[in-house]
Amino acid sequence: MVADVGQILRSILRPLAVAVTFNAMTRLPILTPENLSPEQQTVWDGLVDSRGGSVTRPDGGLAGPFNAWLHAPKIGKAMSRLGGALRFSMSTDRRLIELAIITVGAHWQAEFEWWAHARMARDHGVSDSIIDAIGNDEEPELTDPADLATYRIARELVTGGRLSDDTHRHAVDALGHQSVVELVSLCGYYTLISFTLNAFEVELPEGEPEKWPR
């Protein structure tokens, strides 16, 4: 079952309680419940109800990509549904899911995505050496066929938008058709998340260093 940003934030922020704050810089105004339209409120309620109150920031807005979804609520509603399908319908092993997500996030240098998912990848068995290599745009040393297939799927999609015949064949052999379809869908979703985070300069929690400072 794939972790969404809300699930990640709950695991990271809950032990820190109110100590976690966010920097002020972001390109979109932070929307809070008192200034939402009815349509935006519906999106808000769906996000908070399904992902928990820890997706909210100390200033009352939503963390990660979710504030952007409120600004375009029809898109936000559709994105939330897709995220729910990925969260609850994936049969692929969680370690492979996180490996794919960090490969996508590293390619797009999406700071919030990397901050959230690099630690989740580690928690689910991806080694520090593999995480570091991916984050530094280096080829990771992968010996497990499923790991290698997952990495190649994500890497080829973000760099060229296609899968080679060789990659596809090995991926089906290692993972099966269902997981290949799931991982391709996952890479598309997290590319969209990366674009959202980068386009609107969604900030990290205060005090967290950037992986790719500009």
Is 208 inside any structural domain? Answer: no
Per-residue pLDDT reduced to its tens digit, 33-42: 999 999 999 9
Is 173 inside any structural domain? Answer: yes
Q: Find tokens 């240098």 and name the residue.
A: 109
Number of other CB atoms surrounding residue 117 within 10 Å: 27
Same domain (yes/no): 99, 167: yes
Range of the domain at 98: 92-198
Backbone angles phi and psi of 118, in degrees to 5: -60, -40
Is 162 inside any structural domain? Answer: yes
Q: Which of 67, 88, 109 is the last residue of a domain?
A: 88
Q: Which residues pair with 56 in a beta bridge?
A: 62
Q: Which of 55, 88, 121 is the last residue of a domain?
A: 88
Same domain (yes/no): 113, 181: yes
Residues present in the chain in total: 214
Q: How many domains does the chain have?
A: 2
Q: What value does the mean pLDDT take over residues 14-25?
A: 42
Same domain (yes/no): 140, 169: yes
Per-residue pLDDT reduced to its tens digit, 88-145: 789 999 999 999 999 999 999 999 999 999 999 999 999 999 999 999 999 999 999 9
- Residue ranges of alpha helices (H) inside the chain are 5-13, 38-51, 66-71, 73-89, 94-108, 111-123, 128-135, 145-160, 165-175, 177-199
Is 117 inside any structural domain? Answer: yes
Q: Which of 57, 88, 119 is the last residue of a domain?
A: 88
Per-residue pLDDT reduced to its tens digit, 160-213: 999 999 999 999 999 999 999 999 999 999 999 999 999 999 989 888 999 999
The domain that holds 184 is classified in CATH as: 1.20.1290.10
Burial class (CB within 10 angstroms; exposed 0-12, middle 13-18, buried 19+) of 188:
middle
> Is residue 18 pLDDT above 50, yes or no?
no
- pTM, two decimals, is 0.86
Q: Which residues pair with 57 in a beta bridge?
A: none
